[in-house]
């Protein structure tokens, strides 16, 4: 196999990372390899068997040119600062420049202990690997910025959690693994030189247009805020709940990262929480935009010495960034929901129209995904019953439907098509992910494969995947998700 590594992170000051060898998987077995993505990354796998791929992406064999490192980072976890986190069960194998000239990280998760493992074993269980594979690829298919899945490999070694589970290694691809927490790690140590080196690296990599500008570090901060605002608006538009928006799980690139106890909502509830460890609901659906802003304030603090020699002016600039974040989010969110409702242009009452629909859906416990899909059909001339049947008793949709109709205009198949292009038909519903994980634990990967295939074109209503569009029955509902780390 040939991977043309070009490891730029290694050229940064060596206190940003530790060199680590991956653990050797005793009996690596390939679960899935993303050949299309490999091609995009110019990874040449010609002549390699599945066993070769399992050895290379399960840690048994380190590919030529790779220089595995564990990255140092800190982070606010549920609001509390932890000065030392870092890659405790993951390694950056190396970087490649893809076909489009974009630098991408190839990163193993579950590859054994590192100097950052703390009390952990450095391993990953099969369940979380399956979940991350499915959800990250689904996000990509939905058109939402995200890390990607390159490979999943069984290690042949059991890992011990609440029970004994099959161990696995996940290979993730990201445009980088620089997190807000990476800056916090060095800021907390008052290592301004490292913060600056990291900021310069991040600018060159993700915001090259800022190089040579008058205030590149303020530009970096504003750039991250802008991308995070737009990202979180996209999450909201598909009912996605990240679940652990700690500052170590927020990227500088603006990609979704770290699919732990994440989930897509079925019935709409603005305060929905799935994560078993989020007892206060800090990362509930509706809290996500505000948490994004809180995290950006932590990034601003870490960058403060770079922003302006005059610290009062630096604080002022950081505060202005936070205000702008709110504005950008609000606009991106409203734009996304206008599209979801087939509204063209911008009118005074649009915000109320969207909010009133969400209130109605909450009261009527409507399935988030199906409701927007049904509205699309309605806009194309279908009977109202397709939508109203999704709402339970207390909700009366008639007044809202009349307002929407007034705002939208005549029924048309173009409006329906436009709405269906932004309202997914298939999302990775929790009970289906759970089903795929359960089967995989017993060595049956057919559910995983089929779910993955159903999510490849999430905006299409394919008859062969009709069963993936239906919400869970009361017995199938999954109320809790776990990190599984």
Catalytic residue annotation? 248
Contact with ligand AMP (CB under 6 A) among 25, 37, 152, 244: 244
Binding partner selected for residue 85 from ligand AMP, Mg ion, none, CB under the kind-specific 5 to 8 Å limit = ligand AMP
Instruction: Select from 110, 107, 108 the least CA-distant residue to 155.
Output: 110
Tell me if 60 sits within 8 A of 72, measured CB to CB: no
Q: Does 485 bind ligand AMP (CB under 6 A)?
A: yes
Question: Measured from the CB of residue 91, what is the shortest distance to Mg ion in angstroms?
Answer: 14
Task: Please give the size of the binding site for ligand AMP, defined by CB under 6 A.
Answer: 18
d(CA 232, CA 228): 6
Partner from Mg ion, ligand AMP, none contacting 122, C-beta within 5 to 8 A by type = ligand AMP
Q: Which of 339, 344, 297 is CA-nearest to residue 321?
A: 297
Nearer to ligand AMP, 249 or 369 (CB): 249
Residues 6+ apart with CB under 8 A from 286: 270, 271
Tell me which of 89, 107, 179, 429 binds ligand AMP, using CB under 6 A. Answer: 89
Q: Does residue 137 interact with Mg ion by CB under 5 A?
A: no
Q: Are 347 and 407 in contact (CB under 8 A)?
A: yes
Q: Specify which residues 30 forms β-bridges with.
A: 153
Q: Please tell me whether residue 88 binds ligand AMP under the rule CB under 6 A.
A: yes
Nearer to ligand AMP by Cβ, of 132 and 420: the residue is 132
Q: What is the largest CA-CA distance in the chain?
A: 65
Q: How far apart are CA 203 and CA 89, in angstroms?
A: 27
By beta-carbon proximity to ligand AMP, the closer residue of 186 and 329 is 186
Residue 308 · residue 214 · CB < 8 Å? no
The answer to whether residue 266 forms part of the interface with Mg ion (CB under 5 A) is no
249 touches Mg ion by CB under 5 A: yes
Determine phi and psi for 378, rounding to 5 degrees.
Answer: -60, -40
| Residue 117's binding partner out of ligand AMP, Mg ion, none, with CB under 5 to 8 Å set by partner kind | ligand AMP
Binding mask 58-87 for ligand AMP (x = CB under 6 A): ---------------------------xxx
d(CA 75, CA 62): 29
**Alpha carbons 382 and 40: distance in angstroms, whole number:** 41
Binding partner of 68, given ligand AMP, Mg ion, none, CB within 5-8 angstroms per partner class = none
Tell me how far the alpha carbon of residue 7 is from its chain's centroid: 24
- Which of the choices ligand AMP, Mg ion, none does residue 52 contact, using the CB cut-off of 5 to 8 A by kind? none
Least distance in angstroms from the C-beta of 117 to ligand AMP = 4
Give min distance, CB of 260 to ligand AMP, in A: 5
Which of 258, 266, 434, 435 contacts Mg ion by CB under 5 A? 258
CA-to-CA distance for 312 and 329, rounded, in angstroms?
A: 26
Spatial contact of 104 and 403, defined as CB atoms under 8 Å apart: no
Hey, how many other C-beta atoms are within 10 angstroms of the C-beta on 49? 10
Residue with Cβ nearer ligand AMP (123 or 177): 123
What is the smallest separation between the CB atom of 252 and ligand AMP, expressed in angstroms? 16
Pairing of strands 164-174, 240-241: unpaired
Burial class of residue 261 (count of CB atoms within 10 Å of its CB; 0-12, 13-18, 19+): buried
Number of residues that bind Mg ion (CB under 5 A): 2
249 vs 295, beta carbon nearer Mg ion: 249
Using rule CB under 5 A, residue 369 touches Mg ion? no
Reported residue count of the chain is 485
Closer of 43 and 168 to ligand AMP (Cβ): 168
Question: What count of Cα atoms within 13 Å lies in the side-chain half-sphere of residue 140?
Answer: 21
Q: Which of 260, 289, 292, 458 binds ligand AMP (CB under 6 A)?
A: 260
Q: Does 184 bind ligand AMP (CB under 6 A)?
A: no
Provide the minimum distance between the beta carbon of 376 and ligand AMP in the complex, in angstroms, as a whole number. Answer: 36
Q: What gap in Å lies between CA 189 and CA 193, rounded to an integer?
A: 11
Q: Is 342 helix (H, G, I), strand (E, B) or coil?
A: coil
By CB under 6 A, the residues from 99 to 128 that bind ligand AMP are 116-117, 120-123
What pairs with residue 92 in β-bridges?
A: 69, 107
- Contacts with ligand AMP by CB under 6 A lie at 85-89, 116-117, 120-123, 244, 248-249, 258, 260, 483, 485
- Contacts with Mg ion by CB under 5 A lie at 249, 258
């Amino acid at each position: 196999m040939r991977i043309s590594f070009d490891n730029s992170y290694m050229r940064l000051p060596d206190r940003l990372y530790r060199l680590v060898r991956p653990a050797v998987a005793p009996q690596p077995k390939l679960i899935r390899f993303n050949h299309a993505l490999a091609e995009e990354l110019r990874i040449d796998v010609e002549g390699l068997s599945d066993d070769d791929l399992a050895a290379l992406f399960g840690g048994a064999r380190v590919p030529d040119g790779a220089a595995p490192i564990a990255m140092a980072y800190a982070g606010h976890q549920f609001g509390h600062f932890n000065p030392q986190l870092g890659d405790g069960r993951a390694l950056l194998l190396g970087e490649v420049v893809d076909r489009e000239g974009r630098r991408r990280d190839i990163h193993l998760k579950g590859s054994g202990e590192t100097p950052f493992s703390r009390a952990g074993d450095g391993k990953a269980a099969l369940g979380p690997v399956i979940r991350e594979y499915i959800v990250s690829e689904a996000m990509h298919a939905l058109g939402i910025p995200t890390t990607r899945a390159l490979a999943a490999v069984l290690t042949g070694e059991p890992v011990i959690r609440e029970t004994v589970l099959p161990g696995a290694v996940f290979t993730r691809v990201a445009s980088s693994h620089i997190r807000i927490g990476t800056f916090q790690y060095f800021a907390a140590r008052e290592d301004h030189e490292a913060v600056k080196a990291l900021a310069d690296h991040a600018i060159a990599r993700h915001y090259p247009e800022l190089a040579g500008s008058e205030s590149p570090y303020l530009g970096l901060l504003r750039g991250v805020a802008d991308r995070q605002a737009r990202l979180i608006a996209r999450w909201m538009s598909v009912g996605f709940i990240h679940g652990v928006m700690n500052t170590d799980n927020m990227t500088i690139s603006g990609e979704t990262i770290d699919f732990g106890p994440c989930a897509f909502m079925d019935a709409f509830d603005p305060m929905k929480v799935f994560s078993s460890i989020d007892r206060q609901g800090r990362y509930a659906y509706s809290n996500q935009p505000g948490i994004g802003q809180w995290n950006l304030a932590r990034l601003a603090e870490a960058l403060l010495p770079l922003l302006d020699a005059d610290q009062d002016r630096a604080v002022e600039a950081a505060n202005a960034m936070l205000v702008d974040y709110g504005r950008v989010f609000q606009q991106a969110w409203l734009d996304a929901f206008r599209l979801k409702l087939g509204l063209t242009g911008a009118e005074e009452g649009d915000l109320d129209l969207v909010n009133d629909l969400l209130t109605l859906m909450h009261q009527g416990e409507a399935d988030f995904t199906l409701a927007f899909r049904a509205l699309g059909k309605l806009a194309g001339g279908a009977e109202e019953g397709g939508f109203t049947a999704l709402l339970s008793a207390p909700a009366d949709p008639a007044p809202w439907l009349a307002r929407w109709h007034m705002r939208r205009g005549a029924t048309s198949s173009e409006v329906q098509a436009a709405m269906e292009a932004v309202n997914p038909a298939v999302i990775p519903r929790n009970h289906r992910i759970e089903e795929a994980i359960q089967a995989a634990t017993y060595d049956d990967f057919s559910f995983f494969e089929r779910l993955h295939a159903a999510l490849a074109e999430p905006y299409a209503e394919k008859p062969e995947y009709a069963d993936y569009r239906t919400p869970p029955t009361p017995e199938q509902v999954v109320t809790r998700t776990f990190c599984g780390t």
